[in-house]
Amino acid sequence: MSTEDQEAQEDELLALASIYSEDEYKRADAALGGEIHLCLELPSDFVISIKSNSATNSFVDNFENTVSFLPSIILNFELPPGYPSTSPPNFTLSCKWLSPAQLTLLCQRLDDLWEENKGCVVLFQWIQFLNEETLDYLNIKSPYEIKMSSNGVQCWMQSHEKTPDDGVLLDTRAIQDEQSVSALVKYVLDFNEAQQKKAFDRKLFLCNICFIEKLGSDCTHFKACEHVYCNTCLKEYFEVQIKDGQVHALNCPEPECTSVATPAQVKDLVGEQLFSRYDRLLLQSSLDSMADVVYCPRPSCQTPVMQEPDKTMGICSVCQYAFCVFCRMAFHGLSPCKVTAGKLVELIEEYLTASEERKREMIQRYGQIEKAIEQMKNREWLEENSKPCPSCNSPIEKIDGCNKMTCTTCKQYFCWICLKILCQENPYKHFETPLACLKR
């Protein structure tokens, strides 16, 4: 190897290391060469579909998704002693989503670029072509369909795509990374998600809580609504909600936004201990919202119990306690549920505004509810239309006549105006006495 070739090779490899990250370029340890991973920039709303002509893959035959990134084209190269003065780099091209025929076309184009620039370093030109011109060169447009045969080898897909001339053999340097349809679908989606995360981490975002710009790596992204907040503010917001038991409030802080944080996002922000409380409260809340789940009424147990349809009895699987699923008391068979005075008031208020179906259900469950409503109405009428006897407290209604009243129960005389007990011998004296109810 001439000194000029050696210097050119070292300079080119150093330049690649300074331009590309470790994820994009890896230099070979034993030889002058390396591996370049080229992630193409796709147009917005690029749609990819993957289909198979095998009947066994019917589950994923209709896979279609919008992606921002497709798996990398991988350029493996080794620099021979005569490069760049006389010999081109030795290389292979591999990819999971391009067919061998498409990769053959790209190999031919790299050969052409070497011929056009023989005697000069060419790796950067190759990389630039693969990065910027692959889609146009192969006439790949959205929607893009990858069709695979039953053995996992990709076939030609669309009539508008550029193909090798008839009779041209596939290039041995074009390596098709064979995948099953399901494996390729998973790899495409995982790669797209990972690249989107990398792109997000490198961008700056303004947090609408603290109004400070921070890198995406220090922020949390709500995918449903696209809102972004810094981790510091969101951590404090979630911690307050969890400590207060408001586990259903772990959503985007944007006013009126209903996007909900994923469990993974919550765990990353609040830590293992607080997340355990959140997870427990969330489960409890979910069980509470299920109409067919009740809890064992014993304070020391509280085990969730599945309620069987049309059954009024629940049996705890832990302590074997049999209880009424309505009133949570010991099971009482066909007898109506016993309720407290406070509960009865609530039931009456509900009954008065309930539908006919709900009223029938409540009567069946709480047999005394209609009687309680009648008694309540009686009490209300008496409060509005009568006064209590000051001697025995019996309700007395005044129909007509003077203000000297006689209780029908205890026969006591009293004043209707001030409810004072009157003298039995001369009850009218009260109405002749100054400062009393004189002449009233």
Residue type, 176: Q
How far is 118 from 125, CA to CA, in rounded Å? 12
Q: Is 402 a catalytic residue?
A: yes
CA 428, 432, 434, 436 torsion: positive or negative? Answer: positive
Q: How far is CA 157 from CA 54, 176, 268, in A?
A: 15, 15, 42
Distance CA 431, CA 428 (A): 6
Tokens of 422: 């009157």
Cβ-count burial 402-425 (b if 16+ within 10 Å, e if not): ebebebeeeebbbbbeeeeebeee
Burial of 43: CB neighbours in 10 Å, binned 0-12, 13-18, 19+: exposed
Residue 370 contacts by C-beta under 8 Å, 6 or more apart in sequence? Answer: 363
Nearest 10 degrees: Cα torsion 49, 54, 57, 58: 80
> SS3 for 237?
helix
Identify which of 402, 399, 376 has the alpha carbon closest to the alpha carbon of residue 386. 399
Phi-psi region of 414 (alpha: psi -120 to 50; beta: other; left: phi over 0): beta
The residue assigned the tokens 């330049």 is: 15
| 45: Cβ contacts below 8 Å, ≥ 6 apart | 66, 142
HSE (side-chain half, CA atoms, 13 Å) at 94? 13
Tokens representing 371 are 């009687």
Task: Using alpha carbons only, give the angle 148, 153, 157 rounded to the nearest 5 degrees.
Answer: 45
Q: What are the backbone angles phi and psi of residue 190, rounded to the nearest 5°? A: -65, -40
Which member of 257, 319, 402, 418 is catalytic? Answer: 402
Q: What are phi and psi of 232, to 5 degrees?
A: -60, -50
Active site residues: 402
